[in-house]
Amino acid sequence: MTGATSRGVAVPETIERRGERARLASWRVDGGVAHLSPAAMRPLSADFVGSCLDALRARGFTFVVTSALSEAESSGFLRAGFDVQEQLELLAHDLNAIPAVTARLRRPRRRERPRVLTVDTAAFETFWRLHQGGLDDALGATPAVRFRVHGRGQGIDSYVIGGRGAGTGYVQRLAVHPDARGRGLGRSLVGDVLQWMRRHGASRALVNTQRTNLAALALYRACGFRVLPEGLQVLARAL
């Protein structure tokens, strides 16, 4: 393993055994909660997941949550004692009818990232909020990325992160400050990343959100996304 601290994970690290790989990190803003996700194109066995849990306990974590997993990816985790923490809807867009971008968007400077995180904190419940490491993860999750904000400096009130790889685009993160809602910013941010994906050859876009996040679901549907039959789930367990 690499990148570990004596307590928690300062930067993501990877554990690997006989072709099975998992990524370990701290979850969002809570340094006592770990984030565990598959890092290879195959479901993880319950035995390997157990090894990951041992590694997390050794680093002082007391609780762990997974990334968004499909039914097949969840199997080994469930057999290792995980339970469903959150059900997610998976939505797809064919990149044909894309919303118009009516707001002026731009790429933020690195020094503006604390303000981006302030917007994120205001937009999401505690469990889902990003910290700096989570923002870095979102920006590095795919081979190509698009990061756009609305506003400048302390006036930044919304942002989007889109990713692209192997012909598919991903809406990684979208947040609009509650004080800025109802102005069409969400549609512009979604439209911007979808246009970027199409320009660079993607054939579809995917996004997931909690089934209980009715506002986000309404926005994505209004932007042309459709809900897919197969959902995703976030799993969790105590350590």
Kindly report, residue by residue over 35-91, the tens digit of the pLDDT: 999 987 789 999 999 999 999 999 889 999 999 999 999 999 999 999 999 999 999
- Distance CA(13)–CA(227), nearest Å, equals 33
Highest mean pLDDT among 118-122, 126-130, 139-143: 118-122
- Distance CA(168)–CA(101), nearest Å, equals 21
pLDDT of residue 138: 87
Task: Judge whether residue 231 has pLDDT over 70.
Answer: yes
Question: Residues for the chain: how many in total?
Answer: 239
Cβ distance 159 to 150 under 8 Å?
yes
Region 150-157: what's the mean pLDDT? Answer: 96
% of the chain with per-residue pLDDT over 70: 94
Task: Judge whether residue 3 has pLDDT over 60.
Answer: no
Q: What is the pLDDT of residues 179-211, one digit of tens each?
A: 999 999 999 999 999 999 999 999 999 999 999
Strands (E) across 9-58 are located at 13-17, 20-27, 30-38
pLDDT of residue 7: 47
Cβ distance 24 to 9 under 8 Å?
yes
Residue 114 pLDDT level (bands cut at 50, 70, 90): very high
- Distance CA(25)–CA(67), nearest Å, equals 11
- Closest among 64, 104, 70 to 87, alpha carbons compared: 70
Cβ distance 93 to 224 under 8 Å?
yes
| Phi-psi region at 11: left, alpha or beta (left = phi > 0; alpha = psi -120 to 50) | beta
Task: Judge whether residue 8 has pLDDT over 50.
Answer: no
Task: Judge whether residue 31 has pLDDT over 80.
Answer: no
